[in-house]
Amino acid sequence: MPITVGQDTSKTRKTLSVGNKSFAYYSIPAAEAAGLGTFSKLPAALKVVLENMLRFEDGKTVHVDDIKAFSDWAAKGGKNPREIAYRPARVLMQDFTGVPAVVDLAAMRDGIVALGGDAEKINPLNPVDLVIDHSVMIDEFGNPRAFQMNVDREYERNMERYVFLKWGQKAFNNFRVVPPGTGICHQVNLEYLAKTVWSDEDQNGDLVAYPDTLVGTDSHTTMVNGAAVLGWGVGGIEAEAAMLGQPISMLIPEVIGFKLTGAMVEGTTATDLVLRVVQMLREKGVVGKFVEFYGDGLDNLPLADRATIGNMAPEYGATCGFFPIDDETIRYLTQTGRDEETLALVEAYAKENGMWRDSDYNPVYTDTLELDMGTVVPAISGPKRPQDHIALDGAAVEFAKYVKGEREGKETSAAAEVRWEGEGGQPEPQTIPGDQGHHKRGYVQTEDGNYQLHDGSIVIASITSCTNTSNPYVMIGAGLVARKARELGLNRKPWVKTSLAPGSQVVSAYLEAADLQDDLDAIGFNLVGYGCTTCIGNSGPLEPEISKAINDYDLIATSVLSGNRNFEGRISPDVRANYLASPPLVVAYALVGDMNVDIANDPIGQDKNGNDVYLKDIWPSSKEIAELVEKTVTREAFQSKYADVFKGDEKWQDVEITDSLTYDWPTSSTYVQNPPYFKDMDKEPGTISNIEDAKVLAILGDMITTDHISPAGSFKETTPAGQYLVERQVPVREFNSYGSRRGNHEVMMRGTFANIRIKNEMLDGVEGGYTLGPDGQQTSIFEAAMAHQAEGTPLVVFGGEQYGAGSSRDWAAKGTNLLGVKAVIAESFERIHRSNLVGMGVIPFEFTNGDTRSTLGLKGDETVSITGLEGDVKPLMTVPATITFGDGSTKEIELKCRIDTEVEIEYIENGGVLHYVLRNLAKAA
C-alpha cells in the first residue's frame, strides 16, 4: 500500500541519488534554507520527528507553525511543548498485547456494520507486524526434551488464539504474523524487520526515502533505538488508532543528552552498564522525555550494547533512549544481513539530512548528564525494581538487609525451624551467610536429594528476555562461564530451575557454532523455547516439593534473570525477591544457588579436587569473548535464520482457518470473546460529564505498575478469574496465564488489580486484589466493582507517584474501564498508562497543592465528586473536587486534569479513542 505524504512543496522535497536509484526525500537543510527556522543543532532523535512534520505538512493536521516550533525548541534551550501530530511508519506487536488489538479490530468490523458502514473500512493503513513470543511457558527444563515439549504444550494451550491470529492475517490488509518459535518481537525487529531508513512509493508513484519509525504494543519497543530507529511503546488502543491512520498526538518532547565517555573495563558487561544507566536516569527524572546518547564513548560501544540500553528505556522512565546513525550502525546492519541497497541508502540519507553522528556531533539538549564507562562495576538490580542498583560485591549484604526488613517483628529463624519429615534423616542445618536471626529455613526432599531451603535460596536462574539475549557478547560470555565451570566439575544446585530462552534462532546458531550449547546443557541451561518466558512471568511451575516448602515455611525464595523487569509478583507466585543480572552472572548464581553468598569475593564452589573456585576462575576475558563473537556471529547466520521468517513450523502451517471479513466469534471460547466496547454505540459522541458521588475502589501506593493493575502471569482457581474458568469446565492445568487470555474481557476484568502482591491501603496488611464492598465487608475488587455497578455507583481509584509504571499494558486501562472506574487520582502518572486511560475513556487526575492520599488521610469510606468537566474543557486544566469523609465532613481540593491535548478531549467525549475512530470511519463510509 503506498504511503501518503502531505502537500508536495518544492521548498523541502529534494532528490537523493543512491546507486542507480533516485529517491525523493524531505530535507531539513532545505527547510532551513527556505526560512522555516534553524534546525542544525537539533538532536538527531528530534530531527526524525521534524522530518515527519515536513513529510506530512498539509495545513490541517500538520502546519508550518509546527515545523517552526522545532527551531523555537532549540532557541529556548530544548523546550517548547507544542502539540504536534506524529505519524510513525509502522506498528509492532507481540501476541499478549496483539491478540486484544486484533480482537478490537474484529469487534470494530462488527461495530461499523452496526452503524451502517463497510467492514472493509477497518484495515491497518500502516504496516503491522505481530510476533508471537509471549506464549511459551517453561514447563519442562534442564533436559534435551525441554524445547519440543514446551512447544507442544504451547500449541495445546494457545490453539484458539493462533486460529484467531491466523484468521486476522488473512482477513486484514497490511498485517503480518511471525509464527511461534521464531524469537522475541524486539529482537526480530532489531535483527530483521527494521531498516533504519525506509523507502516506499507515495500516492503519486514516486519513491520516497524517510526514517524508519514505529510504535509498538510492548514498552520495550525502544530497543530498536539502538539502531537509530525511533520507536517507543504505546498501549494497544493507541497502536490500533495509529494503524488505522490516526496520528499520535504528542508534545514536542524535551531531550536529555546522556554523554558516554571512556570504555568498559575488564570483567564488566553491557548489563552492568545499563543497570547503572537506569539508576542514574531514574534519579534524574526523565518520564515523558527523550534521552539521546552521545559522546566519544559511543566509539567503543557495539550496537548490541546500545540496543541493551535502548531496551531499558521504560525502566528509566523515558519515552525512548536514542542512538544516532554512525559507522557502528552500518556495521551492524551489514552483519545482520541487510541488503546492499539499504546499507547505501542509510548512510547517504543520514549524511544528507543531518542525522549522522561524527566527531563534531554536539547538539542542543534540554539537559545533560555524563558517565565514564570505565567506572561501571559488576552489578545486579533488585529485589523489586530495575532501578535498585546493587554493586555485586555488596549484593549479599544488601540481601541480608532486605530479609531483616521483611522479617523485623516477625518470626526469627530460630522460631521458624521445621521438622524434617523425609526418609534418611534430617540434613545438618546449613549456615546462612549474613543471617542475624532473621532468616527462615526449611527442609525439602526431591528426586535430586535432601537439602535445606532458606531465605535467599535461588530457585530460578533464567537466561531470558530481549534485553540481553540479543547481545552476543553477554550470551557468548554466559557460554564460556558454563564451559569453565563444567571443566572444573561445577554444576547448578539441585533446587535451581535453570533455563535458556534466546530472543532469536540466530543465538542458537552462534552458540552451537562456538560449541557452547553443550556446556550450557551440561549445567542445566538447555534450550526451553524462543520467547520471553521468565521475563514476562512464564517461568512455569517449580517442582511441587520446592513450591510447598517455600509456601509452608514462608521462605523468601529468589530468582536471578537476565531480563528487564523484576516487579513484585511478576516472575513466579513462589518467588518474592527477583534480581536482574547479566547472562554470565545468571549462570554463576545457578552454581551458587544462594543470594546470601558474596559471589564477588567468596568461593562459589569446589572443583573436582576439593579446591575452592572463585568467580574470577570461571569468568572469561573480553578478548576470549570478542574472538568467539567475531568467529561465530556471521552475516550468513542471520540471512539463513530469517529466510522464511513468516512461514513457521509444520504446526503453524497446519492451523486451519475460515475465510471471512468478520470473525465468527465462538461462544464457548475462553480465550477470544467479542468485547462490549461498541455495544449499543450511538452514531454521535456525547459530552464529558462531572463525576458525582463516586465511591473508592482502591487506595494504592507509589510505583504501582501495570503488572500490579493487570498481571500477566498465572492465577489460582480461588481467584475470580479462576472461578470463571472452573465454572466453564476448564481444568486448572489449562488455565494458562492472564497474558494468554487477553482476548477474553471476562477473564481480564476479573484479573484487574488482582496481582498477588498489590496492597490496597483500605485494608490493613492484606496482599492481593481485595477491597471493601458496598456493605463494608472485605471482598475481591472484581466482586466489589460489580456490586457498585449494580447500584449505578461510579468509582475512583487513588494512587501515589509513578502510577502505571512498567509495561505498555492496555488491559491495565481496559480493565479499569470495565470495572466502572471513572477517574484515577494519583500524584503522578507514567506516560503510557496515562495515555491508555484516556484512550479508554477514564480520566486521569493529579493531586495539586501538596495534597496526597496520605495528607488527606483517605481510608476508602469517602465519596468523591469532581466538577468543572461539563462545558469548555481545556487540556491540563485544574478542576475542583469535593471529598466527603466517612464522618460526614468535607474537604475541597483542586485536581489537575491530565487530558493533555485537544484530541484527547475528543477521545473522552467519544468514550475512548476506538469509538472516536469508529464513528469517523462510519461517517466516511
- End-to-end Cα separation, the chain, in angstroms: 20
Rounded Cα gap, residues 817 and 901, in angstroms? 20
Of 45, 26, 36, give the one whose Cα is nearest residue 72: 36
Per-residue model confidence (pLDDT) at position 409: 54
pTM comes to: 0.83
- Quick check: 70 and 36 in contact, CB under 8 A? no
Distance CA 648, CA 137 (A): 19
236-243 and 831-839 helices cross at what angle (nearest 10)? Answer: 70
The answer to whether 287 and 346 have CB atoms below 8 angstroms apart is no
Q: Which fold has domain 422-620?
A: Aconitase; domain 3 (3.30.499)
> In 593-712, at which residue ranges do the beta strands (DSSP E only) sit?
605-606, 612-613, 691-699
Spatial separation of the C-alpha atoms in residues 677 and 911, rounded to whole Å:
9
In this structure, are residues 266 and 339 in contact, taking their beta carbons and an 8 Å threshold?
no
Quote the DSSP letter at residue 726.
H
CA 324: distance to chain centroid?
Answer: 23
608-613-616-617 Cα dihedral, nearest 10 degrees: -20
Asked if 308 and 226 touch (Cβ cutoff 8 Å), the reply is: yes
Place of cell 498477588: 756
For domain 691-710+752-924, is the CATH number 3.20.19.10? yes
What residue ranges of the chain have pLDDT lower than 70?
Answer: 1-3, 6-10, 409-428, 536, 925
Distance between CA atoms of 556 and 766, rounded to whole angstroms? 18
**Nearest 5°: phi and psi at 88?**
-70, 155
The two beta strands, 197-201 and 255-261, are: unpaired
Q: Is the previous residue joined to 383 through a cis bond, with omega within 30 degrees of 0?
A: yes
* 740 residue type, one letter: S
pLDDT given for residue 427 in this prediction: 62
Q: Based on the number of CB atoms within 10 Å of its own CB, is 277 exposed (0-12), middle (13-18) or buried (19 or more)?
A: buried
State the CB neighbour count (10 A cutoff) for residue 850. Answer: 6
How far lies 525's CA from each of 393, 485, 542, in Å? 25, 13, 16
Fold matches, 422-620 and 691-710+752-924: no
| Grid coordinates given for 873 | 474543557
Q: What angle do CA 566, 571, 573 make, to 5 degrees?
A: 125
- Measure the CA–CA gap between 291 and 320, rounded to whole angstroms: 6
Q: Which 3 state secondary structure label does DSSP give 522?
A: helix
What stretches of 107-192 adopt beta strand conformation (E)?
128-131, 175-178
Q: Rounded to whole angstroms, how far apart are CA atoms 615 and 850?
A: 49
Q: How far apart are CA 586 and CA 562, in angstroms?
A: 7
For residue 91, the cross-strand partners are: 128, 215
Angle CA(854)–CA(858)–CA(859) in degrees, nearest 5? 125
The residues with which 681 forms a beta bridge, in sequence order, are none
Sequence spans of domains, the chain: 422-620, 691-710+752-924
* DSSP structural state of residue 620: P
Q: How many CB atoms lie within 10 A of CB 50?
A: 26
Q: Which helix (DSSP H) or strand (DSSP E) does residue 640 occupy?
A: helix 635-641
Q: Which residues, other chains included, contact 447 with Cβ-Cβ below 8 Å and sequence gap of 6+?
A: none
Q: What is the pLDDT of residue 600?
A: 96
Are 467 and 312 in contact by the 8 Å Cβ rule? The answer is yes
In 783-837, at which residue ranges do the beta strands (DSSP E only) sit? 795-798, 821-826
- Under DSSP, the state recorded for 791 is T
Picking from 99, 186, 137, the residue whose alpha carbon sits closest to that of residue 536 is: 137
